[in-house]
Structure 1
């Protein structure tokens, strides 16, 4: 039986610990029969032959930049059936200058609201808020999230700008506070899938730090998402 091929592309902003974060999931892929290749830049996206032979791309590349050639290669691979997945800023806050990337993924990080201004001390914890990841009706039935109850986190809560071509498996709601400029609660997608050509995309927004990635529900969603996104027989 031919082994499935996974490509891990990591780098960008070091605050999201791209090496350590992806290292949490590479053993899972290997245990499940994937041959894993790791790249430290997006240059591989311009290699059409390599991507055509790749069943799954796991990206952890916060911010950073992508060339037009690399972006075209990534999009073409997904359209042809290569799965694409990742978590937090490694997929939802990548390549801010590329509208083509936003079009591919279907949602983009806008902000993560912080604690009350008088309580901020200048560290990353200023942006850690208690919040709930709430499963949608679709999420309660979907293979990625079935059997996972709503769960609570204290970490960055992503506010996401998105389109309606995504299939939302879980949401999170931003309340309104006296210091906020918005006037009613805002619900953002927290976990979603997207069908793009013959390819499948999965985005999981929790995952700022290693402890969040090791949360049982977050880790389960990411691992199931990698399997679900992988190229299907019909896309081969």
Structure 2
């Protein structure tokens, strides 16, 4: 059996520690038989020859910019069967100006509500809230999340705008508070998959910091998601 090929693309906003975060998962990929290539920009997305040989792309690029040629190359690779996955802002807060990228991923970070205004001190902890990630019925049966229980985190809780072509494996609910402008609780997808052409996409919204990525449930979801998204024989 040919060795599987994984591309790790990292960069963008340094607050999400793209190098350190992706280094957590490279040994997992290598231990499962992947040849891993690491790139520090999205330029490779525009190289059709290089992209055609990939079975999996792991992206950790928060914000930043992408050219139309690069996003077209990424889209073409996924349509042809290459898996695409990532976590937190590295996949759902990437390339805010690209409608084509948003269409590919199916969801976009909108905000992460913070603590009560009088309790804010000006640091990232102002956006750290206790919240629960709840598996859906689909999630309880899906290979990525089967056997896991609902779990609690204290970190950024992503509010996501999304379409209905995603298959939601887990959700999280934003409550309403006296200082909020919304008037009823809002439920956002926290983990989802998306079939796109012959390819599979997996998005995990927790992952702001290394400690969250090392949380047992979060790490399990990301690692299983990499395996599940990888090009299948039928897409070869």
Which 4+ stretches in 1 moved above 3 angstroms?
none
- Which residue of structure 2 lines up, in the alignment, with residue 191 of structure 1? 191
Measured after TM superposition, the shift of residue 84 of structure 1 is 0.1
Name the CA distance, whole Å, in 1 between partners of 2:172 and 2:29: 28
Name the CA distance, whole Å, in 1 between partners of 2:49 and 2:234: 19
Name the CA distance, whole Å, in 1 between partners of 2:2 and 2:75: 25
Q: Deviations over 1:168-217 (max 9, x none)?
A: 00000000000000000000000000000000000000000000000000
Measured after TM superposition, the shift of residue 223 of structure 1 is 0.0
- Which residue of structure 2 lines up, in the alignment, with residue 57 of structure 1? 57
Name the CA distance, whole Å, in 2 between partners of 1:192 and 1:78: 16
SS at match of 1:152: strand
> Across the two proteins, how many residue pairs are aligned to each other?
236
Q: Are positions 1:131 and 2:131 aligned together?
A: yes
Name the CA distance, whole Å, in 2 between partners of 1:186 and 1:14: 29
Report the RMSD for the aligned CA atoms in angstroms.
0.3
- Which residue of structure 2 lines up, in the alignment, with residue 83 of structure 1? 83
Measured after TM superposition, the shift of residue 119 of structure 1 is 0.1
* TM-score in terms of structure 1 length: 1.00
Query: Unpaired segments of 5 or more residues in structure 2?
Result: none
Q: Are positions 1:100 and 2:95 aligned together?
A: no
- Which residue of structure 1 lines up, in the alignment, with residue 141 of structure 2? 141
Measured after TM superposition, the shift of residue 129 of structure 1 is 0.1
Query: Unpaired segments of 5 or more residues in structure 1?
Result: none
Q: Deviations over 1:133-187 (max 9, x none)?
A: 0000000000000001000000000000000000000000000000000000000
- Which residue of structure 1 lines up, in the alignment, with residue 223 of structure 2? 223
Name the CA distance, whole Å, in 1 between partners of 2:201 and 2:48: 19
